[in-house]
Amino acid sequence: MKRRNILAVWLGLPIITLGIYSFVWVYKIHKELGQSFPRVAVTGSGNAVLSCIFGFLTLFIWPLIVLIRFGRSLQEAQILAGERILFNQALGLLLMFFGFGPLYYQSELNRLVAATKPAS
């Protein structure tokens, strides 16, 4: 998994790319979490991006389900990495609703990356 700057993920790159980076980020985090933790059931990266693009067709229920599943997968990965569960699903959903979700999700992913890196 790759450590990313939370401010770049949240505001910088989405503004520069007119929102396209948000879809790239969703794709990458799902793919990287699935590759780094094969025992964790992660929604397919393509399915996650499609839920973002076409979620309005299901009144945003599909993206909500994908987001909840990703949060659950993130919690499982934290357990497998030997961390206590720090990710809060309700807080993640609330922050996503107000536009601050990428900050929280990426900070938790960065914490997971730091926990899984071998000591040098």
What is the per-residue DSSP string for 27-94?
A: HHHHHHHHHH-TTS----HHHHHHHHHHGGGGTTHHHHHHHHHHHHHHHHHHHHTTPPP---HHHHHH
Burial level of 80, CB count in 10 A (0-12/13-18/19+)? Answer: middle
| pLDDT computed for residue 86 by the predictor | 87
Other CB atoms within 10 A of residue 46 CB: 11
pLDDT in tens, 15-50: 999 999 999 999 999 999 999 999 999 999 999 999
Domain regions of the chain by residue span: 6-108
pTM (2 decimals)? 0.93
Confidence at 120, pLDDT banded by 50, 70, 90? low
Other CB atoms within 10 A of residue 23 CB: 16
Other CB atoms within 10 A of residue 106 CB: 20
pLDDT in tens, 74-106: 999 999 999 888 899 999 999 999 999 999 999
pLDDT in tens, 63-74: 999 999 999 999
Is the pLDDT confidence value at 118 over 70? Answer: yes
